[in-house]
Chains A and B, each alone.
Chain A
């Protein structure tokens, strides 16, 4: 059973370009979460999605950032008109339907560098 897959692992973008980060959850998981981690910091929650539904986007910046989890295909985190401050590691996690466990399964992350 493959784990959470993220691609690309490394992404370099110039200021003003768009960044697209992809996440395929573990098989059987219908809940996806995106987190951002700055150097020497803990992960910060961005958004929680289920298939075709954004459940909680309270951690997403109001502008330039969007996320989707279509019926078919991976979840996408899109950052438009990137700025240097967007440089960070972006992690995706997935979990099975709601239960009593607080366990989320994380992918290896995408390291975004904005030049």
Chain B
């Protein structure tokens, strides 16, 4: 699985847009980019997944440039409840056994300030 690098922590004020960038220089052709969110004392929660260009859902947007060596998770107008650790994962979801063995780094600890 490709290695990912993301900032250890970020601070943001309520109402601002937050962009968290993840580097994955060794991403393979079949790899997807997936982001998870984890609140304290809870299991991670899937946020968004993409392969290229832009993906948007009700929670976030994911921007992936043409070379796919990085990706940016964008959270619009964050609130205090968005304070969490955000993990960027890269891997092949089309392996023969399906999706398994997610590899989590240390993630980015986002703190939203009132």
Chain A interface (Cβ within 8 Å of chain B)?
4, 31, 33, 35, 40-45, 48, 55-56, 58-59, 91, 93, 95, 97-109, 111
Contact = CB atoms under 8 A, between A and B. Distances in A.
A10 to B, nearest CB: 10
A44 B100 contact: no
B59 interface: no
Contacts, number: 81
Interface stretch (B10-18, B19-27, B68-76, B88-96): B88-96
B29 interface: no
Interface in B73-114: 87, 89, 91, 93-94, 96-107
Interface residues of B, number: 26
Given A40-B106, A42-B105, A102 B43 contact: no
A84 B93 CA distance: 35
Contact of B101 (A42, A45, A101, A111): A45
Given A43-B44, A109-B41, A102 B91 contact: yes
Given A40-B106, A56-B100, A102 B49 contact: yes
B104 A33 contact: no
B111 to A, nearest CB: 15
